[in-house]
Amino acid sequence: SPTLKKIKESGTITIGHRDSSIPFSYYDDKQNVVGYALDICLKVVDAIKAVLKMPNLQVKLNPVSSATRIPLIANGTIDLECGSTTNNLERQKQVAFTNTYFLTANRFVSKKASNFKTMNDLKGKTVVSTSGTTNLKQITEMNGAQNLGMNILTAKDHAEAFLMVETDRASAFFMDDILLYSLVANSKAPADYVISADALSIEPYGAMLRRDDPGFKKIVDDATAKLYKSGEINAIYKKWFLSPIPPKGVNLNVPESDALKKVFANPTDSGDPAHYK
């Protein structure tokens, strides 16, 4: 394995992390890198230390962005990218992915009092999504295909879109559900909102590694599969999604979905959303 050889010779493994992908990989209030994805990657590092018999292997942390993460994996700057990266078939042409560690979906948030449960309930209503997102593209296509007659507004960012629902300028806001949970948890009145059970799409998140390195991938996959199947993952999940987290001590209160429980029972690195239905 070229990656293992590089790690052994340098005495260092380099992990790519995000700066603000809460709760996956981000800086806390003390400028330490923390998060759910990072905790999983550190378990992988333990497995690599055992295989290489290098208990003192150094971990170097390297910040990455949406734009730089794939190139930095491909050119060997980082060995493992631990963030909120969607595993899809297009990206698999450039990089490999570990076993999936989270599933997000395009859903909508609305006020509980409105009692909107499905897309059909939003017929003829004003809804919002954030500009430049796959979520916006998806609801625009569905609006036409299903003849829903929704008036779709675009917001410059997630905060503005949520504010439109808060102030009744929009009936619902469509976005990745984990981001909606975060917005609701940090809102003035979290109990006033509900996130739809209906998912418009499913997106698996995984850690990236270089393609064409089966030796390294096997260690990473074995380590994540062991973590999931043993149930050890549940404590890590609880720490980041069902407990107060830094920097503000907010509890996102996102229970494990049935689909994610299935992934933990039968680990997979599939980039096909249909696999997770």
Full-model pTM = 0.81
Map the chain to HEC letters. CHHHHHHHHHCEEEEEECCEECCCEEECCCCCEECHHHHHHHHHHHHHHHHHCCCCCEEEEEECCCCCHHHHHHCCCCCEEECCCECCCCHHHCEEECCCCEEEEEEEEEEHHHCCCCHHHHCCCEEEEECCCHHHHHHHHHHHHCCCCCEEEEECCHHHHHHHHHCCCCCEEEEEHHHHHHHHHCCCCHHHEEECCCCCCEEEECCEEECCCHHHHHHHHHHHHHHHHCCHHHHHHHHHHCCEECCCCEECCCCCCHHHHHHHHCCCCCCCHHHHC
pLDDT tens profile 178-228: 989 888 988 899 999 999 998 888 889 999 999 999 999 999 999 999 999
pLDDT tens profile 149-181: 999 999 988 889 999 999 999 999 999 899 898
Task: Please state the rounded mean pLDDT for residues 240-267.
Answer: 94
pLDDT tens profile 84-139: 888 989 889 999 999 999 999 899 999 999 999 999 999 999 999 988 677 888 89
Task: Identify the pLDDT of residue 216.
Answer: 97
Grade residue 260 by pLDDT with cuts at 50, 70 and 90.
very high
